[in-house]
Amino acid sequence: MLKKAMRIGIVAASSPFTRETAERVIAQANALFPDDPPELYVHPNSFLAHGHFAGNDAERAEAFLDIANDPAFDALWFARGGYGACRIAQRVLDRLEPEARKKQYLGYSDAGVLLAGLHKAGCTVAHGPMCQDIVRDGGEAAIDRALRWLVDRAPDTLEPSLADGRPAAAFNMITFSQILGTALQPDLTNYILILEEVSEYLYKIDRTMHHITANPDVRKVAGIRLGRCSDITSNDTDFGMTGEEIVRHWSSVTNIPFLGAANIGHDTENRIVPFGSV
């Protein structure tokens, strides 16, 4: 009997996706696995446009649930970030069926809102490259990494620090900050919390780290690692600290161990971080 090809459903839960980008990702998957390519299905709602979003809230939620609850799909891969996942999060989490807990979810950035809620609901999730990353310089490498994780669970795609075996979770700083104290906040007791940020002022990173480390449940993590703080927005007054110095400061004053660097960020080197233990 022939092995069934893996089916990966692609959904834009936030900002719009384009057919051109989708075609590039599908071609990349076929080139990476020429003998047994996974079947990539892009939900047609992902190509809708409703202001800032890939369709209105109801359309994006239905697209997500069409893939998540369908037993024919092995994984749900977020098409891209942007903004909008929080607007559909509770709507989709309330309607998850048993099949939704049998598949892998992969994304980062704004998708972290849904990854947090899905992890809390018992689903298998991971922080890692999304389809839109193919438009970055060298983005084919990020797409290959994501596909090799989804299809083969290739160990070399992982963030290297995961080799110590401790459970971990990874988020964009501001995305994670904004779910704290909500029903989406997962229990990360004894986890390594890995954070990254992009295109923000250093003072905003400082404010965000204050909020994160002030949360009583976050203080139960085993430690914090820092991915890249990239494309820092310039400010008239120099903040006087680097992103790492900011994270070290808030880790120190809240007695959360700072464990060093991690290879994640809004770039093509972004590594896979499965939530929980590998």
Amino acid at 5: A
d(C-alpha 193, C-alpha 131), whole Å? 24
How many beta carbons lie within 10 A of that of residue 37, not counting itself? Answer: 18
Whole-Å CA distances, 149 to 143, 152, 272, 273, 274: 10, 5, 8, 10, 10
Q: What is the C-alpha to C-alpha distance for residues 71 and 126, in angstroms, rounded to an integer?
A: 20
Q: Are 104 and 134 in contact (CB under 8 A)?
A: no
Token reading at 10: 């692609």
Answer yes or no: are the C-beta atoms of 175 and 181 closer than 8 Å.
no
Q: Say what the pLDDT of residue 136 is.
A: 97
β-partners of residue 223 are 192
What pLDDT does 108 receive?
Answer: 98
Can you say whether the dihedral through the CA atoms of 236, 237, 241, 244 is positive or negative?
negative
Task: Give the alpha-carbon dihedral of 19, 230, 178, 119, to 10 degrees.
Answer: 60
Tokens coding 214: 């002030």
**Nearest-angstrom CA–CA distance, 173 and 110:** 10
Distance CA 21, CA 236 (A): 37
How many Å apart are CA 59 and CA 69, to the nearest integer? 15
Distance CA(100)–CA(250), nearest Å, equals 37
For residue 1, the model assigns a pLDDT of: 41
- What is the pTM assigned to this prediction? 0.97
Helix axes 57-68, 85-93, angle to 10 degrees: 50
Q: Which residues contact 156 (CB under 8 A, 6 or more apart)?
A: none
pLDDT of residue 249: 98
Judge whether 187 and 120 are in contact, CB under 8 Å: yes
Residue 148 CA neighbour count, 13 Å, CB half:
15
Instruction: Give, for all 278 residues of the chain, the pLDDT tens digit.
Output: 445 789 999 999 999 999 999 999 999 999 999 999 999 999 999 999 999 999 999 999 999 999 999 999 999 999 999 999 999 999 999 999 999 999 999 999 999 999 999 999 999 999 999 999 999 999 999 999 999 999 999 999 999 999 999 999 999 999 999 999 999 999 999 999 999 999 999 999 999 999 999 999 999 999 999 999 999 999 989 999 999 999 999 999 999 999 999 999 999 999 999 999 87
pLDDT for the residue numbered 3: 56
Copy the structure tokens of residue 63: 């697209």
* Residue 9 three-state SS: strand
